[in-house]
Amino acid sequence: MKLMILSLGLAGAIAAGPALAAAPTCAPPDFAKQAKALVDERVKDGRFSGSVLVAKDGVPLLREGFGAANREWDIANTPDTKFRLGSITKQFTATAILQLVDAGQLSVDDPISKFYAEAPAAWAKVTIKHLLTHTSGIPSYTAIPGYFVNDAKLRQTPEAIIKLTRDKPLEFEPGSKFAYDNTGYILLGYVIEKVSGQPYADYVAHNIFRPLGMKNTGYDVASQILPKRAAGYQPGKDGWQNADYLDMSVPYAAGSLYSTVDDLLIWDRALATGKILTDASRKAMWTDYGNHYGFGWAIGEQSGHERIMHGGSVNGFSTAINRYPKDGLVVVVLSNFMASPSDTIAGNLAGLCLGTWQPPKAVAVPVAVLDRYVGSYQLTPMMILRVFREGDHLVTQATGQPAVPIIATGPSAFYAPGPDAKLVFKQTGDAAATSVVLTQRERDREAPRIADKP
């Protein structure tokens, strides 16, 4: 698993010829070394296994596999390992819908009842656009209590999945709120089949993957022999374990595709050049419709840089693709460990390249001070964050999660590298801390200290 850095540009110019364009670079001159070290830290602390690609203007600056594609056979991940994408699938479903729009076969303003004859009266105002933007109010089937215990192991049809929540009340008036909804994207897959006359898997293969030369991308079917497919893993009581079985008919158009980091670079270039959609459809896909979400993409910025992104999570896998169009930057992180912080790794790699992120520097804090922070803190009604000391450093453990060592960055400030979280303890004098503020994904949560149970 050697680091692969492609330097395609040359300094200077060829005599008697035009000057060659400089190779794309990141802010740190040793970006690849720092980037590899960043990912290696997650591998060492048992939180990452997968493949990573960072590219500018289509040129890979980091392209490498980490950890094992199959832990039982000790087979390494490589850039051409195939991973289940989870919800990254949604951007391909949105693209298929927009292709049908470009072809004049539907409108995003069409009601879903135009294509789904069994739509209940409550869905009368639900449009294709509402489904694309998670604003329909239709309950998500993935939120049904206990669904993944048994039912998700059985083959399902799109119609059967839609029926799971079809007759439940809408959670809100269509268009009035945002609630991430996998049922909405199942319905979009159903629409694609009805309008095109092709199974969803065939449509995306014939109209997206094959035209772009994405030879290692497709709809995952567990029974098929798929070369270089990664095995998926999840946390267990004694460490990593094989992921629970999931029939891939269940995620369908919301999460059943597989791909490689190389194929997703092809995808990025196609989006950047307008090869796969009209300019009008690309603009529509990346418009923020009021909830930092477009069509199959989250819309926002990172440290002042425009960012469109999406993550994915499906049994055994965690994925992320971050695109920074004005910077010509794309970061792809595909992991075959369900608990990997792939979106955090992608954001940090991008920040490192852009020069907006640096690894936190550790400082020494006296043991007597550390002991003031030891205790239990109530993060949510169902989740307690325990803080305990091991030698000269603190370790945290949230309910149902593995222990995570944290690094002191100040007298009362700490950093958890794995989940990329910051913790600041509130404390006065020599007294024990009264609370801790946890910052993760730009969200602050204050957790008060609670009495430990005897």
| 3-class state of residue 164 by DSSP | helix
Handedness of CA 366, 367, 368, 369 (dihedral sign): positive
pLDDT of residue 21: 61
Q: Mind listing the pLDDT tens digit for each residue in 303-316?
A: 999 999 999 999 99
pLDDT of residue 16: 37
Q: Which residues contact 150 (CB under 8 A, 6 or more apart)?
A: none
Structure token pair of residue 99: 């292709």
| pLDDT(131) > 80 | yes
Q: Are 297 and 285 in contact (CB under 8 A)?
A: yes
| 3-class state of residue 225 by DSSP | coil
Q: What is the pTM of this model?
A: 0.85
Confidence of residue 15 (pLDDT cuts 50, 70, 90): very low
**Residues written for the chain:** 454
Please state, in angstroms and rounded to a whole number, the distance separating the CA atoms of residues 444 and 414.
14
Please state, in angstroms and rounded to a whole number, the distance separating the CA atoms of residues 261 and 274.
20
Sorted by where each starts, the structural domains of the chain and their CATH numbers stand as: 83-354 (3.40.710.10), 367-450 (2.40.128.50)
Q: Are 323 and 309 in contact (CB under 8 A)?
A: yes
Please state, in angstroms and rounded to a whole number, the distance separating the CA atoms of residues 217 and 54.
19
pLDDT of residue 380: 84
Q: Mind listing the pLDDT tens digit for each residue in 351-377?
A: 999 999 888 889 999 999 999 999 999
Q: Are 252 and 186 in contact (CB under 8 A)?
A: yes
286: nearest Cα among 260, 259, 301, 308? 308
Q: Are 53 and 201 in contact (CB under 8 A)?
A: no
pLDDT of residue 400: 74
Q: Rounded mean pLDDT of 417-438?
A: 91
Q: Are 3 and 53 in contact (CB under 8 A)?
A: no
Please state, in angstroms and rounded to a whole number, the distance separating the CA atoms of residues 316 and 334.
11
Q: Mind listing the pLDDT tens digit for each residue in 166-185?
A: 999 999 999 999 999 999 99
Distance of CA 373 to the CA centre of its chain: 32
Q: Rounded mean pLDDT of 146-151?
A: 84
Q: Are 342 and 334 in contact (CB under 8 A)?
A: yes
Structure token pair of residue 35: 């980037």
Q: Rounded mean pLDDT of 316-339?
A: 97
| 3-class state of residue 185 by DSSP | helix
Q: Rounded mean pLDDT of 58-87?
A: 98
Q: What are phi and psi of 317, to 5 degrees?
A: -140, 145
Q: Mind listing the pLDDT tens digit for each residue in 225-275?
A: 999 999 999 988 888 999 999 999 999 999 999 999 999 999 999 999 989
Please state, in angstroms and rounded to a whole number, the distance separating the CA atoms of residues 24 and 329.
10
